[in-house]
């Protein structure tokens, strides 16, 4: 994975010093809160309901054991012993003090981490496929391109006061595991017929109060013009994105109001101009970055059978004799492993969704267990998934029993990836100052209910996503089932929607009808799964059945 | 009654105006009547509180109860982590929020 | 007779040029397009900086106004002017604060007339924040990627 050189380190150190100085000026009264707010936000520091919250960047979701251990140390030293992993592959701490923040950032800098641009109206942390580099279906590892963008977008002098926040995702396969088309810019790294690597650009996607799926704006940008094209996209947005209304300021509104064709025309014009100016980093830089992402020696050759899913019970022969295995282990292997490009390895999902638990939360002790497992079993590499889970990307199939045993002991062994227990939920009104309703208690009750009745495995793949307000941090628009919390005259109320997807079959969910109270929406989720179980044909996921039979039968069951 | 709340500038902790300073406990909150604007302006200028605002509340036999659920959650702490609230020993505390 | 809306040389707090500051009437972009003798113009956030490109030769001062520091259109305006070869004074005026100085400098601003005078020491620190930079901009500094691959 990527390692800082002295330049990268100096940039992060300079940022820590700058923030320390900004915090000092705020505490001395030289900066008002209005002036300080965008500065602290650009260092990931929010003021939430109970305290300041610090969001730390995990670029494209990749980190090593030493970094995870530092995240655990930060949780213990400056917070309350836990952290929350987010849908954009970052981590949030809920109880950071302003007066401690620069010290926490300085500690992070010692392990090549930071909170740069994790909030604010600037280019945010770049996200990617959580299986990047390990999945068999990729054209290339997308992370070097994401890293090139990370450097370009860090402290970009022209794009620090954009109309609104700007999120970019970079993937390199037909499968979309990063909600790419629901980003301000989505990039898919592709190869053309001549075998040359280039970038496909989508622009103007997003969730929030006006969800939109990004249209394709360029099929192939030669890779030696990658940054120049991105710069053109951003310049057109910075100049013409709306600034009169915060809720219409995202690029999706610009692209929608101009029409994709006109936005493309303006970008192409700016692109041609910028090519003449020359803003592209030297091509040798991409090669330098790529070298950092070379797979560890044993994984380099995919070999025959790359990407073959483990057959059910396929890990039964793995591990040392006498190691505990059987039902729970088999279930976990079946549910939580993903095919690897090397046939003797898998990627293993560490669920942060124990039934009844808080989605995405991990204690400092759990983080240390995960770090140790990464060191021992995954070539010192970890990922944060956009589903608020963690991942050991490269685990030998023979090591799975040992990995599972350790995870299970740490309360991290839930076998529920992509099931109805694997709920994405924003922090909601329990933590967030923007929220209208709580999200976490719903997630807890639903996962507990389905786990208890044993219905989880019966229902199979079903992505349930919960947001506590219209800003949609819980991706409810993209849920097979989505729940949106609203404030109905001071009382929490929940709207149900069906049929969304963040994947390559991207779609926006549709609202079923009138909202429900907390008990009501939980009952409604059960009813919806009843309809699915009664209507599905062989091999159909919930989403497939919904697409085939439409909204009516579900409405009938809910309101009929 | 009308009460004032905000967050401590240095620590971020939720605080309530008790008539002379900022308390961590909502039950210390006092009715500020017509003086809200004046107190807020003075306290912000002195940096004794960050982004404060006035809210409606009622005084009951149990103490001061903010009118909106958001401020009751602020007064107690996250309902999903009773151990991190101001009343970790009181299992009924969450009922007060809802 | 158009009203002078510009800043005077006395209001300039930081200047990174050796020439004498011009001190004549500053006009709006619209007026500049009509008045062939205007040598100083002021760009508002909604103005298209490219409208000035045909007249750059006769301009000695371009002010870019920041009515609020959070409106970043002026950064693009500045770079566009420099990319087109404008070599005259480029002055950031209005709600110009300490923490925006280094980025403004990179986008090509070489003078600064903030509404409120800035603390000299804090400003000096801000201008010097970035010893190195990742991306190309209007300041022609060699970037980190370029330095990494020097022969």
Domain positions in chain C are 9-148
By Cβ distance, the residue of A29, A99, A429 closest to B10 is: A99
DSSP string for A211-258: -BPPPEEEEEEEGGGHHHHHHHHHHHHHHHS--S-GGG-SHHHHHHHH
Rounded to an integer, the average pLDDT of C88-109 is 97
Contact call for B9 and A98, based on CB within 8 A: yes
- Report d(CA B39, CA B48) in Å as an integer: 11
Residue C24, pLDDT score: 73
Distance from CA of C18 to the nearest CA of A (A): 24
Task: Tell me the average confidence (pLDDT) per consecutive run of 10 residues in chain A, 560 residues long.
Answer: 97 97 96 95 96 98 98 98 96 98 98 97 97 94 98 98 98 97 98 97 96 98 98 98 96 98 98 98 97 91 70 57 71 94 94 98 98 98 98 96 97 97 98 97 98 95 98 97 95 97 98 98 98 97 98 97
How confident is residue C22, by pLDDT bands cut at 50, 70 and 90?
A: confident
- What is the pLDDT, as a whole number, of residue A316? 56
Residue A88 to residue A71: CA distance in whole angstroms:
16
Of A27, A50, A95, the CB nearest to B9: A27
Contact status, residue C61 vs residue C40, Cβ threshold 8 Å: yes
CB of B78 less than 8 A from some CB of A: yes
Reported in sequence order, the residue ranges of A284-435 that DSSP labels E, i.e. its strands, are 337-339, 345-350, 361-363, 382-384, 390-396, 424-425
Show residues of chain B in contact with A49, CB under 8 Å: 14, 70, 73-74
CB contact under 8 A, C149 and A288: yes
CB contact under 8 A, A281 and C70: no
> How many other CB atoms are there within 10 angstroms of residue B62's CB atom?
8
Of A33, A49, A80, the CB nearest to B73: A49
Query: CB-based contact (8 Å) between A560 and chain B?
Result: no
Distance, in Å, from the CA atom of A47 to the CA atom of A54, rounded to the nearest integer, reads: 9
Q: Name the residue of chain A whose CA is nearest to B71's CA.
A: A49
**Chain A residue with minimal CA distance to B84?**
A80
| pLDDT computed for residue C25 by the predictor | 80
Across B10-34, average pLDDT: 97
Mean pLDDT on B27-38: 96
- The residue with tokens 């500690």 is A107
Chosen CATH of C9-148 out of 1.20.58, 3.40.720, 3.30.450, 3.40.50: 3.40.50
The C-alpha of B48 sits at a distance from chain A's nearest C-alpha, in angstroms, of: 10
* Residue C101 with chain A: CB contacts under 8 Å: none
d(CA C58, CA A450): 74
Q: Using N-to-C axis directions, what is the helix angle for A33-41 and A6-27, rounded to 10°?
A: 160
Of A155, A161, A284, the CB nearest to C70: A161
When CB atoms are compared, the residue of A50, A96, A433 closest to B78 is A50
ipTM: 0.97
Give C4 or A396, the one with higher predicted confidence. A396
> Do A96 and B12 lie within an 8 Å CB cutoff?
yes
Closest residue to A18, CB basis, from C104, C129, C136: C129
Touch criterion met for C and B (3+ Cβ pairs within 8 Å): no
Domains and CATH numbers, chain A: 6-109 (3.30.70), 142-285 (3.30.413.10), 424-559 (3.30.413.10)
Kindly report the nearest CA distance between residue C145 and chain A, in angstroms: 6
**CA A169 to CA A129: how far, in whole Å?**
8
Give backbone dihedrals phi and psi of A336, rounded to 5 degrees, phi first: -110, 10
Q: What is the DSSP letter of C143?
A: P
Q: For an interface test with B, which of A52, A360, A488 has the most B Cβ atoms less than 10 Å from its Cβ?
A: A52
For the record, the structure tokens of C89 come out as: 């004074």
Cα(A316)–Cα(A327) distance, integer angstroms:
10
From the list C70, C97, C135, the residue facing A156 with the nearest CB is C135
Chain C positions in Cβ-Cβ contact with residue A156 (cut-off 8 Å): 134-135
Interface check for B10 against chain A (CB to CB < 8 A): the answer is yes
pLDDT band at C2 (very low <50, low <70, confident <90, very high): very low
Which residue in chain C has the smallest CA separation from A23? C99
pLDDT of amino acid A319:
56
User: Which single residue is written with the structure tokens 């990004």?
Assistant: A214
Q: Cα(B86)–Cα(A460) distance, rounded to whole angstroms?
A: 40
* Number of inter-chain CB pairs under 8 A, A vs C: 105
**Closest CA–CA distance from residue A14 to any residue of chain C (Å):** 7
Q: Is B87 on the interface with A (CB under 8 A)?
A: no
Residue A303's pLDDT is 67
- Which positions in chain A touch B40 (Cβ < 8 Å)? none
Q: Mean pLDDT in chain B? A: 96
CB of A358 within 8 Å of a chain B CB? The answer is: yes
pLDDT of the residue at B10: 97
Residue A209 dihedral angles phi and psi, to the nearest 5°: -75, -20
Contacts of B53 in chain A (CB under 8 A): none
Q: Say yes or no: A49 contacts chain B, CB-CB below 8 A.
A: yes
A165 within 8 A of A123, measured Cβ to Cβ: no
Crossing angle of helices A65-78 and A98-109, rounded to 10° = 160
Task: Indicate the SS3 state at residue C104.
Answer: helix
Residue A291 neighbours by CB distance under 10 Å: 10
| Interface probe, candidates A32, A46, A50, chain B, greatest B C-beta count within 10 A | A50
CA distance A34 to chain B (A): 10
* All chains having 3 or more CB pairs closer than 8 angstroms to chain B: A
B70 interfacial to chain A (CB closer than 8 Å): yes
The answer to whether residue A459 neighbours chain B at the CB level (below 8 Å) is no
Q: How far is C136 from chain A (nearest CA, A)?
A: 5
Does the beta carbon of A103 lie under 8 angstroms from any beta carbon of chain B?
no
Cβ within 8 Å, pair A47-B51: yes
Touch C-A: 3+ C-beta pairs under 8 A: yes
Whole-number Cα distances in Å, A25 to B24, B39, C108: 26, 23, 27
What is the gyration radius of the CA atoms in chain C, in angstroms? 16
Q: Cα Rg for chain B, rounded, in angstroms?
A: 13
Taking residue B35's Cβ as centre, other Cβ atoms within 10 Å add up to 14
State the SS3 of A8-36. Answer: HHHHHHHHHHHHHHHHHHHHCCCCCHHHH
How far, CA to CA in Å, does A73 sit from each of A111, A245, A270? Answer: 12, 41, 46
Helices assigned H by DSSP within C18-140: 29-34, 73-83, 101-106, 120-127
How many angstroms separate the CA of residue C131 from the nearest CA in chain A? 8
Nearest to C149 among A10, A163, A284 (CB): A284
């Amino acid at each position: 994975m990527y390692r800082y050189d002295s330049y990268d380190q100096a940039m992060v150190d300079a940022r820590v010093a700058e923030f320390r100085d900004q915090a000092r000026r705020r505490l001395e009264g030289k900066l008002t809160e209005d002036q300080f707010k965008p500065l602290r936000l650009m260092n990931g520091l929010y003021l939430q309901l109970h305290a300041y919250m610090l969001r730390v960047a995990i670029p494209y979701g990749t980190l090593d054991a030493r970094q995870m251990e530092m995240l655990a140390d930060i949780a213990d030293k400056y917070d309350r012993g836990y952290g929350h992993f987010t849908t954009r592959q970052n981590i949030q701490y809920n109880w950071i003090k302003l007066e401690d923040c620069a010290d926490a950032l300085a500690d992070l800098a010692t392990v090549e981490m930071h909170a740069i641009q994790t909030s604010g109206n600037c280019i945010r942390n770049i996200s990617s496929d959580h299986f990047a580099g390990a999945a068999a279906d990729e054209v290339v590892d997308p992370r070097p391109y994401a890293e090139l963008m990370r450097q370009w977008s860090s402290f970009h002098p022209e794009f620090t006061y954009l109309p609104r926040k700007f999120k970019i995702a970079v993937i390199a396969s037909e499968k979309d595991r990063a909600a790419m088309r629901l980003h301000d810019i989505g990039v898919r790294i592709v190869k053309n017929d001549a075998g040359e690597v280039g970038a496909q650009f989508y622009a103007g996607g997003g969730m929030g109060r006006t969800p939109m799926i990004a249209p394709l704006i360029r099929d192939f940008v030669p890779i030696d013009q990658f940054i120049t094209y991105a710069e053109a996209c951003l310049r057109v947005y910075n100049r013409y994105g709306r600034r009169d209304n915060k809720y219409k300021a995202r690029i999706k509104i610009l692209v929608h109001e101009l029409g994709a064709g006109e936005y493309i025309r303006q970008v192409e014009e700016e692109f041609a101009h910028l090519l003449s100016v020359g803003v592209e980093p030297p091509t040798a830089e991409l090669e330098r970055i790529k070298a950092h992402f070379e797979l560890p020696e044993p994984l380099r050759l995919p070999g025959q059978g790359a990407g073959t899913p483990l057959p059910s019970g396929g890990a039964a022969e793995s591990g040392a004799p006498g190691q505990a295995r059987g039902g729970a282990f088999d279930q976990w292997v079946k549910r939580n492993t993903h095919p690897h490009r090397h046939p003797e390895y898998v990627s293993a999902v560490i669920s942060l969704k124990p039934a009844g638990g808080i989605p995405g939360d991990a204690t400092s002790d759990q983080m240390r267990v995960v770090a140790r497992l990464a060191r021992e079993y995954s070539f010192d590499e970890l990922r944060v998934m956009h589903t608020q889970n963690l991942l050991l990307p490269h685990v030998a199939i023979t090591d799975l029993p040992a990995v599972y045993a350790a995870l299970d002991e740490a309360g991290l062994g839930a076998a529920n990836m992509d099931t109805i227990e694997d709920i994405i939920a924003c922090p909601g009104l329990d933590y967030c100052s923007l929220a209208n309703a709580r999200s976490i208690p719903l997630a807890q009750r639903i996962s507990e209910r389905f786990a208890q009745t044993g219905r989880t495995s019966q229902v199979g793949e079903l992505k349930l996503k919960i947001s506590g307000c219209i800003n949609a941090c819980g991706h409810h628009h993209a849920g097979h089932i989505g729940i949106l919390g609203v404030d109905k005259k001071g009382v929490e109320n929940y709207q149900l929607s069906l049929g969304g997807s963040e994947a390559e079959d991207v779609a926006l969910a549709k609202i079923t009808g009138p909202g429900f109270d907390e008990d009501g929406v939980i009952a409604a989720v059960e009813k919806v799964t009843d309809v699915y179980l009664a209507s599905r044909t062989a091999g159909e996921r919930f989403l497939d059945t919904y697409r085939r039979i439409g909204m009516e039968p579900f409405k009938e069951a809910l309101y009929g | 009654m009308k009460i004032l709340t905000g967050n401590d500038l240095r620590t971020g902790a939720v605080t309530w105006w008790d008539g002379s300073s900022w308390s961590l406990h909502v039950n210390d909150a006092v009715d500020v009547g017509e003086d809200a604007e004046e107190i807020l302006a003075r306290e912000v200028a002195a940096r004794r509180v960050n982004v404060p605002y006035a809210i409606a509340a009622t005084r009951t036999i149990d103490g001061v109860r903010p009118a909106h659920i958001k401020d009751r959650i602020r007064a107690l702490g996250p309902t999903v982590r009773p151990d991190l609230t101001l009343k970790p020993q009181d299992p009924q505390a969450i009922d007060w929020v809802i | 007779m158009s009203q002078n809306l510009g800043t005077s040389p006395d209001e300039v707090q930081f200047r990174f040029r050796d020439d004498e500051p011009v001190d004549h009437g500053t006009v709006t972009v619209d007026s500049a397009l009509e008045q062939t003798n205007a040598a100083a113009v002021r760009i508002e956030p909604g103005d298209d900086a490219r409208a000035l490109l045909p007249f750059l030769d006769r301009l000695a001062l371009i002010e870019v106004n920041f009515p609020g520091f959070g409106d970043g259109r002026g950064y693009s305006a500045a770079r566009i002017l420099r990319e087109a070869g404008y070599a005259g004074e480029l002055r950031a005026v209005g709600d110009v604060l300490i923490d925006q100085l280094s980025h403004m400098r990179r986008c090509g601003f070489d003078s600064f007339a903030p509404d409120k005078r800035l603390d000299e020491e804090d400003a000096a620190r801000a201008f010097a924040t970035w010893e190195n930079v990742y991306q190309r901009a209007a300041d022609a500094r060699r970037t980190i990627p370029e330095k990494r691959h020097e022969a």
